[in-house]
Amino acid sequence: MNITLMMTIYTTLIMGTMITLTSSHWLLMWAGLEMSMLSIIPILMNKPSPRSTEAATKYFLTQATASMILLLAAIMTMMHSGQWSVTHTNNQIISLALTLSLIMKLGLAPFHFWVTEVTQGTPLIPGMIMLTWQKIAPLSILIQIYPMINQPLITTSALLSALLGGWGGLNQTQLRKILAYSSIAHMGWMLVVMNYNPSISLFNLVIYITLTISIFITLHMNNNLATLSLSHTWSTAPPIIIIILMNLLSLGGLPPLTGFSPKWFIIHEMVKNNNIMITTLMTIMALLNLYFYMRLTYSTTLTLYPSTSNSKTKWYFHNNKTMTILPPLITLSIMTLPLTPLMINFN
């Protein structure tokens, strides 16, 4: 793709999200979401193929439907309150429409089916953008309107997302699908605490984006798309394998890695608000995610796959691509858990 066209597309993508983040006008927020949606479609189809075309079409249809429901809810809010700015209303129909549209945009259950298909049908970097940057704008709208969202629907969707995000990844060997199901589960954790402390949801989003970008970049460096290719990387890049697996365990929420920090925050907040049952269910469902990450770790590092190389020190002479942003991302993804007690006291 032409470099000028690519810069225009990425600028539009960034500007769309920034417009949504900085606006309190319903039409501007909707326009920002539309800009982001329309600009990411050519990114998903950067390498044209029937699979990427199918993925981009599924993404467009789902997001367009969600945008239509969101615009309908915005118009109903204007008719109810007389203004386009974000105002809190007790109208149950408006609340239901807003919640449904944002759940669809975030890919939460029961509207989660498009996430895995689109992620699997696109290259690693476009998939990373879709699972990280594209989550920011809808979640920012939810944080702005959290007093008027439909709380039973959000809680039910969050529990289903945590369950299906863990259950769906159990029989997967494709790394992009595993990360897609992980995204669904993490979105559930972010939304379950939304009504009690939105700042914790924002903190969870930051940690999730850091971990996901770090994993996608390391997978992209060696073009790892499946468990088998990841298992064969040990003879050419053992440090990369160790980094990927530690990041995956951190994404699963295993202490003492960074990924345990947002779960610690959410469990602390939910118990403080006497939601013991929901907290217990979410914690049990999180074990499903941790299980398939541990299984991936076992199959990659603790089993010996047939090697085509007679030299076991081949990796010493392997010139791998390096990225300047990767070392700080890895550090943030693995070693920031000791800061969590300070943040809890600060909140």
Bigger pLDDT: 185 or 331?
185
Evaluated on CA atoms 7, 12, 17, 23, the torsion sign reads positive
Amino acid at 54: E
The region of weakest confidence among 69-78, 85-94, 301-310 is 301-310
311: pLDDT strictly greater than 70: no
The region of weakest confidence among 1-5, 17-21, 279-283 is 1-5
- The pLDDT, as a whole number, for residue 307 is 53
Instruction: Go through 256-276 and write b for each residue having 16 or more CB atoms within 10 A of its CB, e for each that does not.
Output: ebbbbbbbbbbbbbbeeeebe
Mean pLDDT, rounded, of the chain: 86
Cβ-contact 209, 132 below 8 angstroms: yes
| Domain extents in the chain | 3-305+315-346
Bigger pLDDT: 104 or 243?
104
Q: What is the mean pLDDT of residues 287-297?
A: 85
Cβ-contact 184, 300 below 8 angstroms: no
Q: What is the mean pLDDT of residues 331-339?
A: 82
Helix H segments across the chain? Answer: 3-22, 26-44, 50-81, 92-106, 113-120, 124-131, 133-144, 151-168, 175-192, 198-222, 227-231, 238-251, 260-272, 276-301, 326-334, 340-346
**Given pLDDT bands bounded at 50, 70 and 90, which one contains residue 164?**
very high
CA separation for the pair 201, 82 (Å, rounded): 30
Cβ-contact 107, 138 below 8 angstroms: no
**Given pLDDT bands bounded at 50, 70 and 90, which one contains residue 324?**
confident
**Given pLDDT bands bounded at 50, 70 and 90, which one contains residue 344?**
low
- With vertex at residue 102, the alpha carbon angle to CA 96 and CA 103, rounded to the nearest 5 degrees, is 85
Nearest partner of 253 among 340, 171, 194, 177, judged by Cα: 340
257-291 tens-digit pLDDT:
899 999 988 998 999 998 899 999 999 988 888 88
Q: What is the mean pLDDT of residues 322-334?
A: 79
The region of weakest confidence among 20-34, 99-113, 310-324 is 310-324
Q: Which two tokens stand for residue 332?
A: 């943030």
- The pLDDT, as a whole number, for residue 306 is 55
201-211 tens-digit pLDDT:
999 999 999 99
The region of weakest confidence among 241-250, 305-314, 325-334 is 305-314
**Given pLDDT bands bounded at 50, 70 and 90, which one contains residue 179?**
very high
Please give the C-alpha separations between residue 1 and each of 7, 42, 90, 167, in angstroms, as whole numbers: 10, 10, 48, 38
CA contacts within 13 A on the Cβ side of 306:
1
Bigger pLDDT: 237 or 168?
168
**Given pLDDT bands bounded at 50, 70 and 90, which one contains residue 230?**
confident
Cβ-contact 196, 273 below 8 angstroms: yes
Please give the C-alpha separations between residue 334 and each of 15, 22, 243, 323, 329, in angstroms, as whole numbers: 31, 31, 9, 18, 9
CA separation for the pair 148, 145 (Å, rounded): 6
169: pLDDT strictly greater than 60: yes
Q: What is the DSSP string of 192-211?
A: HTTTT-HHHHHHHHHHHHHH
Amino acid at 94: I
Please report where in the chains the tokens 């690519």 appear, as a residue.
6
**Given pLDDT bands bounded at 50, 70 and 90, which one contains residue 317?**
very low
- The pLDDT, as a whole number, for residue 293 is 87
